[in-house]
Amino acid sequence: MRYTKFTALAAAALVTASMAQAQDRSDWPASFTVGTASQGGTFFAYGAGWANLVAEELGMSGGAEVTGGPMQNMALVHTGDAAFGMTTMGPAAESLAGTNPIAPGLAMDKACAMFPMYQTPFSVTALSSSGITSISEIPDGARIGFGPAGSTSDTYFPRMLETLGVNFERRNGGWSDLGGQLQDGLLDVIAFAAGVPVPAVSQLEVQTDVNIIEFTEEEQAAIIAEYPVSAFEIAADTYTTLEAPARSVSMWNFAVANCDLPESFVYEATNVVMSDNERMVNIHRAARSTLPEHWDKNNVLKWHPGAARWFQENAGADIPADMIYGG
């Protein structure tokens, strides 16, 4: 079963929400935190929005926490320091395999899949005044901002650019801070891996002229062959700078939940997010892909039992028992 309209789900959500208020919550946490990323990035905007929505709908205290991004979120959720978090599937796989740089050797198997969010495109932005209009024009030794240390961008984008023969000086920081450094001439390029539109890029467009640099077909093919990404196009209406779709690559993002959270709590939190896509799109346009049919984009993490039950009941998800935590 595929969903393109959410009227029925939205109606069901109202009934379910009232049922959630009446059900036994004795084992629910008093509050929850969602691990996001740095301010100015899509993770923070999206995560803060859905944290507030879930808190409001379930009548409990909850909010977003600024973090270093997917790798740190996997660690926080695994240990239970954050109930929920946001990650991309590459860092999720590395964390599960014990190669997360935050805790090398620790298999973070207490972070369970909760719901699909959106695809993260990889894109490059430079000031128009730099004259950089393509990857091949990035000068030798360019100062490139890759986002917070340990983020999806910082984990994969340096490797991708090295594959494409770019020699650079690596810089890290929050997206808003890096945007300011680019505008002040302290950076030559920012390599973004974030849901679009990236707030920092949108802000730059308001303040100055920028070039949003796409990959050539050959560059795209080389990256796809080497890394866990797929072909993607950034739509022309994403940024005022773009006059045509921009060729890119992307990686799926998923919300994760601590595997030991009560099943009923995670079921209800998942229902709030997945039952009314319009509310999520109002939080961030990237949520246009936060749809029930994308449950199958997770082939890495075990599902939280509460989330698995929601997708089985509402999206016809055929999730194997051995892909459900405790199953």
19 part of a folded domain: no
First to last CA, the chain: 24
Both 128 and 242 in one domain: the answer is yes
Q: Is the pLDDT of residue 111 over 90?
A: yes
Domain range enclosing 127: 120-251
For 242-282, the pLDDT digits (tens) are 999 999 999 999 999 999 999 999 999 999 999 999 999 99
149 CB neighbour count, 10 Å cutoff: 16
Mean pLDDT, range 47-60, rounded to an integer: 97
Q: Is the pLDDT of residue 23 over 90?
A: no
Both 266 and 240 in one domain: the answer is no
pLDDT value at position 128? Answer: 97
Paired tokens of 140: 């030798």
Both 150 and 165 in one domain: the answer is yes
Helix extents (H) in 249-304: 263-274, 277-283
CA 226 from centroid of its chain's CA atoms: 21
Cβ atoms of 313 and 43 within 8 Å: the answer is: no
Task: Identify which has the larger pLDDT, 143 or 199.
Answer: 143
Rounded to whole angstroms, the Cα distance separating 250 from 247 reads: 10
For 299-320, the pLDDT digits (tens) are 899 999 999 999 999 999 999 9
Rounded to whole angstroms, the Cα distance separating 156 from 160 reads: 6
Q: Which CATH number do you get for residue 287?
A: 3.40.190.10
Final residue before a domain boundary, out of 219, 251, 283: 251
pLDDT band at 22 (very low <50, low <70, confident <90, very high): low
Cβ atoms of 163 and 135 within 8 Å: the answer is: no
Residues 6 or more apart from 224 whose CB is under 8 A from it? 230, 231, 249
The reported pTM is: 0.77
